[in-house]
Structure 1
Amino acid sequence: MTGPEAVDVANGTADTGPAATTVTLLIADDDEVTRSGLRMLLAAQPRITVVGEAADGIEAVEQARRLRPDVVLMDVRMPRRNGIEATRRLLAESPDPPKVMVITTFENDDYVTAALSAGASGFVLKRLPVRQIAEAVRVVAAGEAVLFPAALRQMVTARPLNSAEALPKAALTGREEAVLRLMATGQSNPEIARALTVSLETVKTHVGNVLTKLGAQNRTHAVVIAYESGLVVPGFAS
């Protein structure tokens, strides 16, 4: 088992380019103006087809089951069922679930941290240029993780530590902890390999071991656990 690469969409960097295939997208947001605007703008971007919309978490789950999109762009603060519970249900109930990417207005939104813990593959800010949101959609569809380390640190700092997310007793090895710390700074697998002077395959093995031992659904979830457990402290690195 190996984890997806981390991608810094804000800086336009990625380890590997997503495959040149069209990504099907479902947009879930309770604000009709925002939802319609995102649909119009993202549909105009290369290799993205918007297949549907949802106005709340219940609709998001229903539409995702019916339309089977590659990615759900999920707002977290929605009526009837919020994006956290919708994400959890989508990922738990489907044998081949879509990727979920959270979209939010506020960098310190604790709902986003909870959604990442529920298995979302990453998050983007609504104020980002549409081309960056589109690139994040394509990256997540390719099985990679969209990670904004500085914003994630702010979110975790803004909420109390959750003891339920503490590192399990099956402790990480020293090298696995080192890999996790570098993951938390947003470094990709090749960058971690260079920093630790090991092969890329060795890093992939360590990342896979980290995800398994932490019970993390993906790379981003592992980083959330690292911050919330205190293994990585806010301000550890920029």
Structure 2
Amino acid sequence: MKIERSVVVSLLVRGLFLMAPITNICAQEYKYEIGGAAGTSFYMGDANKTKFYLHPGISGGLLFRHNINFLWSIKSNIFAANVSGNSDDSGNRFPFARQASFQRTLAELGTQVEFNFFPYSDKYAYLGTKPYTPYLFTGVGLTYATGEKTFTGANIPLGMGFKYKLKNRMNIGIEFSMRKLFGDDFDVTEKTTGWNLDTPFGIKSSFLKNRDWYSFTIIFLTWEFGMREDPCHGN
């Protein structure tokens, strides 16, 4: 039986393709990210109970992310920021019409767990991945703030974000988070035995009552590295 030349060529091409090393046809996927972030910060506490972005400061720093899979990541950060507050324009009124203000520079070291709403990747479309996703995160951190009376304490970050792959190995995103502190003296920068914002109403703070917070709103840019050993699998 005579075989057409075009059929033979087609079979040879397909055979060579199937014998090629599998890593040559797999998309590369990376498990680590490193980059920088910059944005704004603000404080909420006794001198500002309800107003977001009152007396905004500047924030920025470095972050490192380990992408466990398409849905889960672990992120570490080191951030610095300026925060301030003034009870005179916060709408909060204290006994005997007392007023207080403060300003601090803080440094934070933290780790968070992130959950992506969509499987995040610009590859493996057959697995339902997308090059963008909103995400939620929480974790734990350590805060140090300057002043005549310094502040050192743990914090719990609660936040949300959105990230997008600009191109292979490059990500851009935006985050909003609140950092809950385990103390009520973040807004007390001077050493004093008199009235201050630690217990402005003379009522001792509890875990849920009168604790101070600060917030970050940042834009970040990260670069991926560390190729996975199993790039053909969706993990």
**TM-score, length basis structure 1:** 0.23
Tell which structure's C-alpha radius of gyration is larger: 2
Question: TM-score, with normalisation over the residues of structure 2?
Answer: 0.23
Task: Name whichever structure is richer in helix by fraction.
Answer: 1
From the two aligned structures, give the one with the greater strand fraction.
2
